[in-house]
Amino acid sequence: MIAAIDGFEWRDRPTGVGRFLQNVLAAMAPLAPRDRFVLFLPAPLAAPPAWPNVETIVAPCAGGFFRWQNQVLPGMVARRGCDRLWAPNNVPPLRPGVPTLVTVHDVSWRGVPADYSLKERLSLDLRARWGLRRAAAVAADSAFSAAEVERWYGIHRGRVRVVHLGRQPGLRRAGAAEIAAFRGRYGLEGKTVIGFLGALFGRRHVPETAAAVERLRRGRDAVLLLAGPDRLGAAARRRLDRDWIVRLPWLPEGEIAAFYSSLDLCCYLSEYEGFGLPPMEALQCGTVPLLLPGSSLGELYDGCALFVDRPDPGRVAAAMASFLDEPAAGAGMLRRWRERQELFSWARTARAYLELLASLDGSGAARGS
């Protein structure tokens, strides 16, 4: 097969979808040496992938995702003779021209519409309504996301294959010297550090996390370390303007292990996640995450994380204090994670995606579906 891949989110500084795509392709290319993969990018990379069966094509696009996916990508796919397309970012092109596999991480524009502008919501909703019904195959990161696809778009869960994401390769707890250097670099020495990594959306309740840490500070020298791009409104942003909140708009890849390893607790109070990689990354680094039990987080991290039933600052602060006062309580959670972690590998994810891509026939349907 000659599979086209929509690489719009593959960047030198990737967000969640870009990191997902990079990890899957890194595992997939060596598993299928006789197949060709054509990765289409909207901008050149500092270090493009170098697998022998992966071709990288750059087609600069001045517009956003919609223009790239619908005005640029289909023509390139046709010209390169690709016989199928993988769209890894929730929605496919309106007229892809070849059988298409779509990965749905979530449908947050329906589940938590406040995180999107009206224009964004309408665009994503219309494209999902049109594209998901016509897709040859659909994959979802979790049973929760598969259920959301059925709930909002009427695609029966039997048509959606659940394919879990994998652990970040090589990510493990940093050594004592690296942790000390990281804490020193950001002024965290001797403090209780609560951390969050990811885009700051409203659904992730970062201002409520800050309010909880402010309560926690009444009994200890605690700081909140936030790493990720700011997607909050002005009012929420003002609530984070505190001298005990350390902001990192972007965290270099080489500091991720030190970031998680430096935390006393990872607080990821998201009410809507299709998978949630940051809690997994925290666990890989030996740090317990504090989560809300809804969406995919309860499904994937049950027994491996602390949970609080709602993002009320008082309840969150109490959960934080209880855990910090009894640090041994996290040992059982980390042990259960070590027992379960082999279920989450990028090789397993890649094999599932290769099966889905190979199953597409020329009529635009998945064989055997």
Please check whether the two domains, 2-166+346-358 and 176-342, share a CATH topology.
yes
In the structure, what pLDDT confidence band is assigned to residue 231 with cuts at 50, 70 and 90? Answer: confident
Say how far apart CA 294 and CA 298 lie, in whole Å. 6
Q: What per-residue confidence (pLDDT) applies to 365?
A: 46
Say how far apart CA 262 and CA 182 lie, in whole Å. 7
CA–CA distances in Å: residue 2 to residues 32, 109, 135, 240: 11, 32, 18, 48
Sequence letter at residue 147: A
Residue 366 confidence (pLDDT) above 70: no
Q: What per-residue confidence (pLDDT) applies to 169?
A: 86
The pTM score is 0.90
For residues 224-252, average pLDDT: 89
364: exposed, middle or buried (Cβ count in 10 Å: 0-12, 13-18, 19+): middle
The phi and psi torsions of 87 (rounded to 5 degrees) equal -105, 100
User: Between residues 308 and 364, which one has the greater pLDDT?
Assistant: 308
CATH placement of domain 176-342? 3.40.50.2000
Residue 368 confidence (pLDDT) above 60: no
Q: What per-residue confidence (pLDDT) applies to 239?
A: 84
Say how far apart CA 246 and CA 256 lie, in whole Å. 16
H/E run at residue 130: helix 118-134
74-133 pLDDT per residue, tens = 999 999 999 999 999 999 999 999 999 999 999 999 999 999 999 999 999 999 999 999
Q: What per-residue confidence (pLDDT) applies to 35?
A: 96
Say how far apart CA 305 and CA 175 lie, in whole Å. 23
> DSSP letters of 71-83?
IIHHHHHHHTT-S
In the structure, what pLDDT confidence band is assigned to residue 367 with cuts at 50, 70 and 90? Answer: very low
Say how far apart CA 133 and CA 137 lie, in whole Å. 9
Q: What per-residue confidence (pLDDT) applies to 60?
A: 85
**Range 2-166+346-358: architecture per CATH:** 3-Layer(aba) Sandwich (3.40)
For residues 313-335, average pLDDT: 93
14-72 pLDDT per residue, tens = 878 998 999 999 999 999 999 999 999 999 999 889 999 999 999 888 788 999 999 99
Q: Where are the domains of the chain?
A: 2-166+346-358, 176-342
